[in-house]
Amino acid sequence: MEAPNYTHNYTMNRQEFSELLGVSQSLVIKWEKEGLIPNHIPWGKTHRRRYNIQHVLEARKRYRPLPKHAPQTLLFWLLKGGVGKTTLSFNLAGAFSRIGYRVLAIDLDGQSHLTTCFGIPSADQDRLNTLYNIFYGEDKDKATLQETLIKLSPTLDLIPASLDTAAIDLFLSSETTIERKLYSLKNLIDSVKGDYDYIFIDAPPNINLLNINAFIASDQLIAPMLTDFLSHHSLSLLYDTIEALKQTFKDLDVELPKIKLLANNFDIRNNICQESLGRLKTGEYAPQLLETVVSRSTVLTESAKNMQPVFTFAQNSAGARDILALTKEMIGVFAKERTDGT
């Protein structure tokens, strides 16, 4: 049943499994007794049951289907490095896929940190197909999207990056049609949108043509903000950039993504963090701020280094709680926006 090469088919205990499905543990036990959750994985000496994404899908199919909705493309971007774009997109893509959503993660950064987080060692990255091969590969370097995808779990696919990804921008700049220059990524994503519920894009901190393609392809721009003394500056830079893009494209009917600000690296004992979060919460852009605050937590760094999302690496940590709370909030916010038609 399980393809042997799945590296992100996260396992969980019964409590996590039932919480994830929003049912009681006794109901899960009842399903098990009736033989309706097949092939559980015996685990360790105690033979406690563990469940993986296949079990989640099985339970979804039979009892708890996820609401159907149009796919959402989420771009993690800020014109500043080191703010948590990769860490958060890595963990959130994992968390959404574990719930049973079909997720495509796209690494747009030539530094390929997301690809590395997902467990592909740098030494192997040269041999991978990336977006470059799809867009500009010639002859034997040419690849289809399907030949580029790395299947990490039944619900999680990755388009990896390598240094080649950084070259795409040069090619885009010599394109002569708007369609190819600005819409290449959107057209590619649109061609597979039926296969996914969420598309996560981890982008580098610049504003080149490849990132502009990502803006145009995305429904939501998730901007992680460090709660430090420079957050104010990052915020104005973000909105100035969006304004500049709007001006640039005002004659082109380009739709830019909705912005969500995400407070990251918060330390409650630190006055500057508190001030900075206070400003985000009360300032002009407060309506766009997600309520969940991600605290500073070394497990986020350690889990990424170990190529695991924090909720499997350290399931009881504050970092894991933050990521799961954020996942829940984001799903709720997107659902509400859909019903409000906003």
Ligand X SMILES: Nc1ncnc2c1ncn2[C@@H]1O[C@H](COP(=O)(O)OP(=O)(O)O)[C@@H](O)[C@H]1O
Site for ligand X, rule CB under 6 A: 81-87, 113, 264-265, 294, 296-297, 300-301, 304
Residue closer to Mg ion by CB (options 50, 113) is: 113
Instruction: Pick from 54, 86, 89, 327 the residue near Mg ion by CB under 5 A.
Output: 86
**Is residue 111 helix, strand or coil?**
coil
The least distance separating Mg ion from the CB of residue 232, rounded to whole angstroms, comes to 22
Q: Are 201 and 106 in contact (CB under 8 A)?
A: yes
Q: Are 291 and 320 in contact (CB under 8 A)?
A: no
Residue closer to ligand X by CB (options 145, 326) is: 326
Binding to Mg ion by residue 148, rule CB under 5 A? no
Residue closer to ligand X by CB (options 42, 81) is: 81
Residue closer to ligand X by CB (options 76, 96) is: 76
Residue closer to Mg ion by CB (options 56, 201) is: 201
Residue closer to Mg ion by CB (options 237, 254) is: 237
The least distance separating Mg ion from the CB of residue 89, rounded to whole angstroms, comes to 8
Binding to Mg ion by residue 85, rule CB under 5 A? yes
Q: Shortest CA distance to 156 belongs to which of 192, 112, 104, 200?
A: 104
Q: Considering Cα of 157, then 188, then 106, then 254, what sign does the dihedral take? A: negative
The least distance separating Mg ion from the CB of residue 159, rounded to whole angstroms, comes to 15
Taking CB within 5 to 8 Å according to partner kind, which of Mg ion, ligand X, none is near residue 186?
none
* Rounded-to-integer distance, Cα 339 and Cα 174, Å: 41
Q: Are 259 and 288 in contact (CB under 8 A)?
A: yes
Pair type for strands 103-107 and 72-76 = unpaired
The least distance separating Mg ion from the CB of residue 185, rounded to whole angstroms, comes to 18
How many whole angstroms from its chain centre is CA 180? 25
Total binding residues toward Mg ion, as defined by CB under 5 A: 3
Residue 46 Cα distances to 41, 123, 305, angstroms: 12, 39, 29
Return the range that interacts with Mg ion (CB under 5 A); candidates 30-38, 86-94, 129-137, 267-275. 86-94
Return the range that interacts with Mg ion (CB under 5 A); candidates 67-75, 107-115, 229-237, 329-337. 107-115
Where residue 332 falls (left for φ over 0; alpha for ψ -120 to 50; beta otherwise) is alpha
Angle, CA 47 vertex, CA 43 and CA 51 arms, to 5°: 50
Q: Which residue is nearest to Mg ion (CB)?
A: 86
The least distance separating ligand X from the CB of residue 301, rounded to whole angstroms, comes to 3
Taking the CB of residue 162, how many other CB atoms lie within 10 A of it? 24
State the residues that interact with Mg ion by CB under 5 A. 85-86, 113
